[in-house]
Amino acid sequence: MSQARIAAVSRPFPAVLVWSAIGTILLAIEFYYLAVWVTSDAFTPIISGPDVPPSWMRDALTTGQIIMSLAWCVSGFIFVLRPLWREQRLSTDSLIFIGSTLASVWDALSNTGRYWFTYNSYLFNRGSIQAVLPISLAPHAPGTGEAWPIFFIPTLYGNFVVIALLVCLLLRALKSRWPGISTLGLIAICFFLGAVVDIILEGVILLPLGFWSYAGGPWSINADTYYKYPLPEAVCVGGVWGLLTCLRFFQNDKGQTVCEHGLERLALPAPVKEYLRISAVLGGVILVFILPYHLPQGLLAFYETAWPSDVVNRSYMTDHICGPQVKLACPGPHSASGL
């Protein structure tokens, strides 16, 4: 066998082609169903119903949407516009920011089989893309379903790049202090820190402030309240932030993420190679949210617990899915709705 053939056999298939195909498919699906949703009757506000959040909660929800939207704009300038202007290309952080923002559209994907969490419908919303997905088993109708907060969820997701950056700085400091620490050890730290951060961000801040409710979540802290925090949430979100950080931290000597490996071996025009790189990383980022979070949480939704009366009796937390105002029992065994 000639040396050229030996080199060709030993050279692995470019991973970037696989990741680019994944990214292209995911982006095509997202943009198609976004268009379907926006042009359908399902693109309708889900109102808060007869119950109104207390004034302190309304203030928190309004302030949160403003602050998070402004933070998203600042992050967009820092991580996308500035590097694009200086380097004439999108950096890894640019793609994590864009990919995370795009992934936010699927935030309610774990409700596909069964409702287990709801958004506070006092937040500005137009329903959610779930209403037009053919895989959605949970019933939807205009004005009911997930009240996906347009000015909070996408902006929150986009800013996950900041968390990834900060954890990467910590990992570099740990690697400098203890050079012998293994890759597996660094990955474990990523997952652990992601779980801890989520317990603080959601369990201590966002849930008590009323941004959403994990009404049917199993194995929960504060299980009888609207701000119940299911422990699987920490594990799944820890997986998301851990993988997102790993994607950014573990780059090769060419500055490539795992999704871009093999790009330099492709004899293709520069614009085509740039498309492959962008679509590959975006596909990787979106999958980071689907595999460790939406898939397991969607399966756990079939084993949800009864929704607490503290949720059922707040119409702004039930999104017209169930409760006294629509005279439907909420999901879960022996639901607290009493209907």
pLDDT score for 334: 57
The token duo for 299 is 């399966």
On whether the CB atoms of residues 143 and 318 are closer than 8 A, the answer is: no
Going by C-alpha positions, the residue among 233, 274, 245, 270 that lies closest to residue 90 is: 274
CA 304, CA 311: separation in Å to the nearest integer? Answer: 14
pLDDT score for 6: 44
pLDDT score for 332: 81
On whether the CB atoms of residues 211 and 119 are closer than 8 A, the answer is: yes
Annotated domain spans of the chain = 14-318
Q: Which residues contact 185 (CB under 8 A, 6 or more apart)?
A: none
> Per-residue pLDDT for the chain (339 aa), expressed as one digit of tens each?
555 454 444 567 899 999 999 999 999 999 999 999 999 999 999 998 899 999 999 999 999 999 999 999 999 999 999 999 999 999 999 999 999 999 999 999 999 999 999 999 999 999 999 999 999 988 888 889 999 999 999 999 999 999 999 999 999 999 999 999 999 999 999 999 999 999 999 999 999 999 999 999 999 999 999 999 999 999 999 999 999 999 999 999 889 999 999 999 999 999 999 999 999 999 999 999 999 999 999 999 999 999 999 999 999 999 999 988 888 889 888 544 444
CA 243, CA 20: separation in Å to the nearest integer? Answer: 18
Q: Which residues contact 41 (CB under 8 A, 6 or more apart)?
A: 142
The token duo for 148 is 């996906």
3-state class percentages of the chain: helix first, strand second, coil last, to nearest 5: 60, 5, 35
